[in-house]
Amino acid sequence: MNRTVLLVDDDAPVREALTQTLELADMNVIAAGSFVAAKDRINAGFDGVVLSDMRMPGRDGFHLLAYAQAQDPDLPVILLTGEGDIPMAVRAMEAGAFDFMEKPCASAQLLAVTERALKTRGLILENRRLLQIVETGDPAGRMIFGSSDLAESLRAKVRRVAGAAAEVLVTGPYGSGISKVAEVIHLSSARSKGPFVKRAADGLTPIAVAEAVQSATGGSLFLDEVTSLPAQSQLSLIEILESAPDVRLIAGTNRDLQTLVSEGRFHADLYYRIEVMTVRIPSLAERPEDIPTMFRRYVDQAAEQSGITAPEVTPQIVAGLMARDWPGNARALMSAAMRFVMGVADDPVADTELGLEEQMAQVEQSLLRAALRRAGGQASAAALALHVPRKTFYDKLARYGIRPEDFRH
């Protein structure tokens, strides 16, 4: 969540004191001494909040509030005044101020109000982003990367599941993007224009569960790592679901739910509610051919977010990526892309001195291993999946010292 605060106050000592208070709470402060100095920052794309003094020379806080409302009616503006003027406070709130405080205000009060405003701004911008995705086409096609058969199967499964009304269970290995797939299911569904509420299941109380369901009315509630939901909260969730609320539950986990149920560590009734429709995300080890496509997309995203030109992803870079294991899956690949863009990473290339033949050999070995893994070590099935003659396939296995039996379960 962005934590930027545009602070507007003509009194330099007060401005410095407020800046220090906010920065100690890990907020990024942009300080301005007047409306004129601040106005260029106030626009619909501003991802922070505004904290402004009411009485300033020239354009006062009311003028700033009106300007902000004209730029973006949903931009939170908190007003401060050195005078306890109740009519002024009422007028400010009626004009659309997020909150109104009297100076000097306690640090705890200032931070609590600002945190609430930042959270509100974050939710507003996230909902706008989701709505834009819905209105511009197929969310699965734009948000789930990869060109492999497994990637296309995942997109197709997400679209089918999204069209149903039942609860959904999204599974996959660590870092595979469970929450992202849950979001795509929501965006592809008839509930796409309703809220998408995300909650970590760990430590969620029965009251918090009920509040989350209420917040997601008309939309979807995603419970991340549902296996961590406390036992009492599991019972509460079952009761809520039985009352047929206007909410679709999407649960996510990278653990074996069925085993947990058999061990008595997860409520069977809740399991059978959410496992009706299951979406499994394959690991990168199962689809290494998607690594180049995904990495390039992540590089483009990171460059756009950082406001810099995306560096070239050379064949050497691709070969190095393909030669690596990715136990952290998409999350690890995304982090590598960010470091690559910022130029602060270990080079993802295994050996930049490799020639074209050696680089292609690395890629080929990755694809052979992935095909055998998918086929459970059955060489004939793996060769068929790769569309190569069986003799050619066996020759390549011999060349690289790859044994099919190592992939049999």
194: domain CATH number is 3.40.50.300
Beta carbons within 10 angstroms of residue 399's beta carbon: 12
Alpha-carbon span 228 to 251, nearest angstrom:
11
Same-domain status, 201 and 102: no
Given a contact cutoff of 8 angstroms between Cβ atoms, the answer to whether 367 and 288 are in contact is yes
Residue for token digits 């290995």? 173
Cα–Cα dist 181/187, whole Å = 10
CA–CA separation, 398 and 378 (whole Å):
15
pLDDT digits (tens, 9 = 90+) for 185-199: 999 999 999 999 999
Task: Specify the DSSP element, H or E, that contains 6.
Answer: strand 4-8
Taken in order 200, 201, 205, 207, the sign of the CA dihedral is: positive
Do 150 and 275 share a structural domain? yes
Q: Do 103 and 206 fall within a single domain?
A: no
Cα separations in angstroms, 368 against 68, 149, 295, 376, 378: 58, 15, 20, 12, 12
CA 349 and chain centroid, separation: 27
For residue 120, give the amino acid letter. Answer: T
Q: Given this model, what pLDDT does residue 329 score?
A: 94
> Domain check: are 324 and 371 in the same one?
yes
Give pLDDT, residue 136.
63
pTM over 0.95: no
Which residues on neighbouring strands pair with residue 221, listed in sequence order? 197, 249
For helices 86-94 and 61-71, angle between their N-to-C axes, nearest 10 degrees: 10
Sheet of strand 277-280, all strands in order from the earlier edge strand to the far edge? 196-200, 220-224, 248-253, 168-171, 277-280
- Answer yes or no: do 325 and 340 share one domain: yes
Sign, Cα dihedral of 148, 149, 150, 155: positive
Give the three-class secondary structure for 323: coil
Distances in whole angstroms, Cα of residue 14 to Cα of each of 7, 11, 17, 125: 11, 5, 5, 30
Q: Is 249 helix (H, G, I), strand (E, B) or coil?
A: strand
Q: Are 22 and 7 in contact (CB under 8 A)?
A: yes
Which of 282, 313, 332 is the last residue in one of the domains? 282
- pLDDT tens profile 154-166: 999 999 999 998 9
- Distance (Å, rounded) from C-alpha 174 to C-alpha 204? 21
Q: Say yes or no: 11 and 118 in one domain.
A: yes
Task: Tell me the two tokens of residue 254.
Answer: 């990278």
Domain count across the chain: 3
Residues 6 or more apart whose CB falls under 8 angstroms from that of 132 comprise none
pLDDT digits (tens, 9 = 90+) for 188-238: 999 999 999 999 999 999 999 999 999 999 999 999 999 999 999 999 999
User: Of 79, 98, 128, which residue is a domain's last?
Assistant: 128
Residues 84 and 144 in one domain: no
Range of the domain at 352: 286-407
**C-alpha–C-alpha distance, residues 185 and 195, integer Å:** 13
Chain-centroid distance of CA 335 in Å reads 13
Task: Please state, as a whole number, how many other Cβ atoms lie within 10 Å of the Cβ of residue 364.
Answer: 15
Full pLDDT tens readout for the chain, 409 residues: 578 999 999 889 998 999 999 999 989 999 998 888 888 889 888 889 999 988 888 788 888 999 998 899 889 999 988 766 667 777 778 778 888 888 888 899 999 999 999 988 888 887 777 666 655 678 898 889 988 889 989 999 999 999 998 999 999 999 999 999 999 999 999 999 999 999 999 999 999 999 999 999 999 999 999 999 999 999 999 999 999 899 999 999 999 999 999 999 999 999 999 999 999 999 998 898 899 889 999 998 888 887 888 888 877 788 778 778 888 999 999 999 988 888 776 554 444 455 556 666 777 777 888 888 888 888 888 888 888 888 888 888 888 888 888 888 6
399 and 308 share a domain? yes
**313-329 per-residue burial string, b: 16 or more CB within 10 A, e: under 16:** beebbbbbbbbbebebb
Computed over its alpha carbons, how large is the radius of gyration of the chain?
26
**Residue 158 and residue 111 share a domain:** no
Residue carrying structure tokens 């793996």? 382
CA distance linking residue 211 with residue 168, whole number of Å: 20
Contact 156, 312 (CB under 8 A): no
Note whether 45 and 84 are same-domain residues. Answer: yes
End of a domain among 93, 128, 163? Answer: 128
- Are 8 and 62 in a shared domain? yes
- For residue 82, give the DSSP letter: S
Q: Are residues 101 and 236 in the same domain?
A: no
Pseudo-torsion of CA 365, 369, 372, 374, nearest 10°? -130
